[in-house]
Amino acid sequence: MTGPSGAGKTTLSRRVMAEQPDVTFSVSYTTRPARTGEVDGVDYHFVAAEEFERRLADREFLEHARVHGNLYGTHGPQVRDRVGAGGVVLLDIDVQGARQVRASGIDAVFLFVLPPSQAELERRLNQRGTDSADVIARRLGIAQREMAEAPWFHYLVVNDDLERATGDFLAVVRAERVRRALPAVCRSLDLSFS
């Protein structure tokens, strides 16, 4: 899942995971210090830069990115294990991360979440009240560059109505599961129907 800051990815993914408990976030590694209330191994795996670099050199990360000077990475084996066990792992990543996941060849579904309009995106970013005008302007610039990549994604969900967007997202998860079940069902049929 990718989308500009302010598209509503966090709210949307919480709704999806509440409806479908076997859809879970992967716990990323980061060199960013833990904030108050954040738990190591739950919110993130908080590691020193040296450990991150070592894991990166060992190709442990499905994707990684530097954001505001901190490194963030998705642990490949963790994702593959959970997918291998029949789970769905949701990654909240930026366009660069999505490109890396695509290049990894892992069987992933790429979903782009969009705000309903530029005006609404600005309103949402302003509404947070935590960011300066400079930060908001920079985020809008990033958003425009990110959205230019939307055409290569598999699905695009416009988050203008949370109910509809959640329904679309859940339908994508369910349909993609049905699609992936086909080979196994066919194999089992060779037994049942032979």
Q: Assign residue 105 a region (left: φ > 0; alpha: ψ between -120 and 50; beta: otherwise).
A: left
Q: What residue has token string 């425009």?
A: 144
Q: Which residue has the tokens 């069902």?
A: 185
Cβ-based nearer residue to a copy of itself, 33 or 151: 151
> Is residue 137 part of the contact set for a copy of itself (CB under 8 A)?
no
Beta-carbon contacts of residue 116 (< 8 Å; ≥ 6 apart): 158, 159, 160
192 binding a copy of itself? (CB under 8 A): yes
Q: 65 vs 140, which CB is nearer to a copy of itself? A: 140
Interaction between residue 10 and a copy of itself (CB under 8 A): no
Q: Which of 49, 103, 135, 171 binds a copy of itself (CB under 8 A)?
A: 171
Residues 16 and 166: beta-carbon distance below 8 Å:
yes
| Interaction between residue 162 and a copy of itself (CB under 8 A) | no
Nearer to a copy of itself, 14 or 177 (CB): 177
Cα distance between residue 39 and residue 42, in whole Å: 5
String marking each residue 94-133 x if it binds a copy of itself according to CB under 8 A: --------------------x--xx---------------
91 in Cβ contact with 106 (< 8 Å) = no
User: Residue 167 interacts with a copy of itself (CB under 8 A)?
Assistant: yes
The 3-class secondary structure across 36-52, one letter per residue, is CCCCECCCEEECCHHHH
Would you tell me which residues interact with a copy of itself (CB under 8 A)? Answer: 114, 117-118, 144, 147, 150-151, 153-158, 167-168, 170-172, 174-176, 178-179, 181-183, 185-186, 189, 192-193
